[in-house]
Structure 1
């Protein structure tokens, strides 16, 4: 059987921008460096009054289908991953299909539709579902449309407020894809955790410090589990490592621990030992606390080495370029990271066909998944087709007062009447409420 993976990708960002250094930090009485250097974020994207998770998803999917010359008959399933859903029964995928049917002569009545929920990892789980569906031969020659769409909104003055963001990533999963193929090996790290959750509430309850530790612990487990199937891992095996990126500062931590873990007992550790010594081993210490202290000291020294700095610059930094400008997109985050890394490679003239990506996804609650992907010969054309730079540049820049207004617009518990900040053109928009409380949409030509 030919490889299965992502044939095409489209990104849709919210049309509004909040500058963290120039607008948010002064209003909060904070040093801008707290956001730009600490979190690694420069701006957040927000939906305009007429945008939401459905419009962003449908607009991304529509552009993908138009660019690839697809009709509804070419799509056998539509899976939407989100943790921003507004209905506990009707899936977002049905709304997206309804939108798309407004602009096509055919319908999606034949397509299987669903909605995935496991915090931010649901986008990757939806890709897994599509992969398994095709590999099982149940697709009847059709492709799967997988969309990760979220508005990552926090309560006002919450510590996570600066990491907010909104956008959608649409991905076409098919045989013999143009972008990447997926490995059959997967590694998982999963545990019952309450680091970040929304028990019948829109805004998350977050234990920030614990959430970081759970993220790192599950990632380590997933990496171990992946290595048990794929064999010994080496940093030189992977051209890039897209991580789930709630904010780039989190990835800095994860990358250092992942690199330390993957180079143990390799030629890289031996080469580094001449500079910073060998990695500590548990048996060398009387207590776990002493071992952990030694590992923390070693990791700090590791990140200061030239070898680690070069690896980080090549394998991690390129994947963060979009996230810095748009914030956290929850289920779309790791898929934005993949696109960002390939986009940087295109801009730098780096040939990626045949190269391996090590993709590290995570969802609070908590689960991490690690798998590898092989970049395909058609990757350049797919990445060249992205217009995410234009979208980012064209966003309307909010004042802090306008930010407060748009936050209220998208707060489910607040009713506010705010004029739109931008004019819709050639896109799906929210169009009010139906008789049963459902959301309605229309296409603005």
Structure 2
């Protein structure tokens, strides 16, 4: 029996800024962002979206009514939680109408939470092959305006159905881990924006990749040429390229490996940083844009979460995989977004629910997503669903 990713869905904001516009506004050479960082566009998340609505919007595109009945595990990986007690998963379970006979909880370990959820779900399905699990990875990356990290912001959500006999990726029981108490990035409870030591975090990322890659090779006696492609957690796309270049000399066919990496970072360069979802957007990008993948091809996945936790694991492309629909859906999502000005971006960036208990409501009329955040009243978040006409109904 094989277990892995059976369905995968994506959602991001309908708004983006162009990195050339941002570079000009910050008096920087655009090449610094386009080449030095490897980013072209950045998603801008409106106040009417949070990780709950983005995850629900990503999942509703892929879930059938049969899936909702068979799902008995909902795991939400995020570092942008909406409550210190109640999990974002409980909200999404309710919004989507998933069976109430399900475990539902949230995982936090920086950008690693989505991978932790995938591995827990895979282990669950191996024990319960008739069940299905829903894994959600959603975040909003914030470093502040006019900061060195501003160019690596972004946001969005990835939703994955984990099942037996998956139609996308069969996850192998081959994994290596590395963890250590590192202060390279953290998000205090009293701040909307992250605190990060950028150069140190880059160094730790590279160290953790080297450690997990070396451990994986030694445990399973594989080399880089056993893999058709390697995918990476991509807070910005140049970061993954640096990691890949550190081992590319081990390959007899480096051009082929680098070509697959280029396919895997196309969408990340257009969306920006998803934190927990970044690795899985990279996987979506590879699956959508590579024309060289074949059934049973081995794909490596490197996951990293600051603080810090790293993991390298592997999966095989299912013989049932069909890239055409996934690519069509992704290209539609990204092409239908609206480019906004830097002034509009800055105003949107500074509009959010305050950290105190103040009530606040947003105008949701311009947000045509299925699920939206209306705001907060009497300490309760208000989520709405929109029908085809744009009218909203409360899902309290």
Does the alignment reach a TM-score above 0.5?
yes
In the TM superposition, what whole-angstrom CA distance separates every residue of 1:328-349 from its partner, at most 9, and x where no partner exists?
A: 100000001111011112xx3x
Q: Which residue of 1 aligns with 2:394?
A: none
Please, which of 406, 409, 430 is the counterpart of residue 351 of structure 2?
A: 409
Report SS of the residue matched to 2:247. helix
Q: Which residue of 2 aligns with 1:281?
A: none
For residues 328 and 310 of structure 2, the distance between their equivalents in structure 1, rounded to whole angstroms, comes to 28
Q: CA deviation at 1:411?
A: 6.7
Q: Which residue of 1 aligns with 2:15?
A: 16
Q: CA deviation at 1:95?
A: 0.9
Contact 1:16 / 1:395 at 8 angstroms: preserved in 2? yes
Q: Considering fraction of residues, name the structure with more helix.
A: 1
For residues 39 and 422 of structure 1, the distance between their equivalents in structure 2, rounded to whole angstroms, comes to 32
For residues 382 and 178 of structure 1, the distance between their equivalents in structure 2, rounded to whole angstroms, comes to 13
Q: Which residue of 2 aligns with 1:116?
A: 107
Contact 1:188 / 1:223 at 8 angstroms: preserved in 2? no
Please, which of 191, 200, 218 is the counterpart of residue 210 of structure 1?
A: 200
5+ unaligned residues in a row in structure 1: which ranges? 102-106, 269-306
Contact 1:342 / 1:383 at 8 angstroms: preserved in 2? no
- Comparing 42-51 with 79-88, greater Cα deviation is found at 42-51
Report SS of the residue matched to 1:241. strand
Q: CA deviation at 1:246?
A: 0.7
Report SS of the residue matched to 1:316. helix
Q: Which residue of 1 aligns with 2:310?
A: 368
Q: Which residue of 2 aligns with 1:6?
A: 5
For residues 408 and 421 of structure 1, the distance between their equivalents in structure 2, rounded to whole angstroms, comes to 19
Report SS of the residue matched to 1:110. coil
For residues 312 and 73 of structure 1, the distance between their equivalents in structure 2, rounded to whole angstroms, comes to 40
For residues 171 and 211 of structure 2, the distance between their equivalents in structure 1, rounded to whole angstroms, comes to 20
In the TM superposition, what whole-angstrom CA distance separates every residue of 1:360-393 from its partner, at most 9, and x where no partner exists?
A: 1111111110111000012115853751211111
Please, which of 172, 177, 180 is the counterpart of residue 188 of structure 1?
A: 177
For residues 69 and 257 of structure 2, the distance between their equivalents in structure 1, rounded to whole angstroms, comes to 43
Contact 2:362 / 2:375 at 8 angstroms: preserved in 1? no
Q: Which residue of 2 aligns with 1:132?
A: 123
* 1:433/1:143 CA distance change after superposition, 3 Å: same
Contact 2:39 / 2:236 at 8 angstroms: preserved in 1? yes
Q: Which residue of 1 aligns with 2:375?
A: 432
* 1:420/1:39 CA distance change after superposition, 3 Å: farther
* 1:411/1:313 CA distance change after superposition, 3 Å: farther
Contact 1:320 / 1:337 at 8 angstroms: preserved in 2? yes
Q: Between the two structures, name the one with larger relative contact order (CA 8 Å, sep ≥ 6).
A: 1
With normalisation by structure 2, the TM-score equals 0.92
Contact 2:230 / 2:257 at 8 angstroms: preserved in 1? no
For residues 355 and 103 of structure 2, the distance between their equivalents in structure 1, rounded to whole angstroms, comes to 32
5+ unaligned residues in a row in structure 2: which ranges? 388-396
Report SS of the residue matched to 1:250. helix
**How many pairs are equivalent?**
384
After superposition, residues 265-276 of structure 1 pair within 5 angstroms as 268=252
Contact 1:143 / 1:172 at 8 angstroms: preserved in 2? yes
Q: Which residue of 2 aligns with 1:149?
A: 138
After superposition, residues 20-419 of structure 1 pair within 5 angstroms as 20-21=19-20, 23-66=21-64, 69-101=65-97, 107-137=98-128, 141-200=130-189, 201-231=191-221, 233-260=222-249, 262-263=250-251, 268=252, 308=254, 310-345=255-290, 348=291, 350-380=292-322, 384=326, 387-410=329-352, 412-413=354-355
For residues 418 and 78 of structure 1, the distance between their equivalents in structure 2, rounded to whole angstroms, comes to 28
Q: CA deviation at 1:431?
A: 2.1
Q: CA deviation at 1:198?
A: 1.3
* 1:117/1:45 CA distance change after superposition, 3 Å: same
Q: CA deviation at 1:230?
A: 1.0
Structure number with greater Rg is 1
Contact 1:179 / 1:382 at 8 angstroms: preserved in 2? no
For residues 293 and 336 of structure 2, the distance between their equivalents in structure 1, rounded to whole angstroms, comes to 29
In the TM superposition, what whole-angstrom CA distance separates every residue of 1:4-60 from its partner, at most 9, and x where no partner exists?
A: 100010011111101111x21111111111100110001101222321111110011
Give the root-mean-square deviation of aligned CA atoms: 2.0
Q: CA deviation at 1:313?
A: 3.2
Q: Considering fraction of residues, name the structure with more strand.
A: 2
